[in-house]
Amino acid sequence: MKLYAPSTIKEIKNQYNFRLSKSLGQNFLTDKHIIDRIIEGSRIGPEDLVIEIGPGIGVLTAEAAENAKRVVAVEIDNGLIPILEDTLKEYDNITILNQDVLKTDFSTIVSAYKTEGKTKIIGNLPYYITTPILMKLLEERVPADSITVMMQKEVADRIKADPGNKNYGALSVAVQYYCRVSQIAEVPKEVFFPPPKVDSAVLRMDIREERPVVLQDETLFFTCIRAGFGQRRKTLLNSLTGAAGLSKDAVREVLQTAGIDSGRRVETLNLDEFATLANSMADYKSSH
């Protein structure tokens, strides 16, 4: 059965009287070429554990199971569970968990289903919660090798943006701090059923074993990022005033010590400069 065929999706919908949920952002992939690109791009090995977020009717799940030792699929929609149990019944290496991904303890899944290979996370992320899902995986330091996921193209552009680019923002800095980012594919909206309103892209985020910068205080690093991009049209002096409880004079001193012009704007700072700024702020706070 070609699970990705629109006729199959319609047949399954009718058989199970399943209604697609707009609130859950359900759009099923119908292009085998894109499915293959995701599987190839995620570099799944025969001994690997794959955790899939939002398996839908099992299109990507089945392909992952052909390549991996074990697949654990996390699906929030109760209505899809019997469908998945049916469409994937020929595979004995798939476990389906009916859970909310934002409340899922991924580290527990990894320890419970660990294989001799690496752990890879894949999925077609619901567009409305893409950022919360990614930040949960990264901030909780889920013990995975990589995250290969489909998302709204606009979000993908933000994640991989460089300093000075109009798409560069807090999400760019945060994800690039945790991962090396590469784009696997651009995906037009026409290859989904039903088609969403926007195009998509697939990114692979290889989780860094070592952080690219040395930080005295990671919390301050993210405080600087949020404060700066929260008022991105202002100069650094103005956007950082009040961050971590610092006065304008204190911020001026912090920037001077960091060797960063107080008249610059946040979108011009690269990862190294954010680290220098955060470390300068940490030094100031510890000495005052």
Q: 16: which residues sit within 8 A by CB, 6+ positions away?
A: 79, 82, 83
Instruction: Per-residue pLDDT tens, the chain, 288 aa: give them.
Output: 678 787 887 888 788 877 666 555 578 888 999 999 999 999 999 999 999 999 989 999 999 999 999 999 999 989 899 999 999 999 999 999 999 999 999 999 999 999 999 999 999 998 889 999 999 999 999 999 999 999 999 999 999 999 999 999 999 999 999 999 999 999 999 998 888 889 999 999 999 999 999 999 999 999 999 999 999 999 999 999 999 999 999 999 999 999 999 999 999 999 999 999 999 999 999 998
Residue 124 annotated in ligand binding: yes
Q: Take residue 62 and report the two structure tokens written for it.
A: 């089945």
CA nearest to 58, candidates 36, 42, 34, 81: 81
Element (H, E) at 72: strand 70-75
- Tokens representing residue 196 in the block: 């969403």
Residue 54 annotated as part of some ligand binding site: yes
75 is an annotated ligand-binding site residue: yes
Output the 3-class SS for 160-182.
CCCCCCCCCCHHHHHHHHHEEEE
User: At 70, is the secondary structure helix, strand, or coil?
Assistant: strand
Distance CA 204, CA 206 (A): 6
Max CA separation in the chain (angstroms)? 68
- Residue 13 burial by Cβ neighbours in a 10 Å radius (0-12, 13-18, 19+): middle
Domains of the chain: 6-207 (3.40.50.150), 218-287 (1.10.8.100)
pLDDT at 24: 55
Task: Calculate the alpha carbon distances from 231 to 86, 161, 260 in Å.
Answer: 50, 18, 18
Token digits of residue 193: 């059923």
Amino acid identity of residue 170, one-letter, is A
Residue 8: per-residue pLDDT: 81
Q: Flag whether 27 is marked binding.
A: yes
- pTM (global) more than 0.85: yes
At residue 149, the pLDDT reads 98
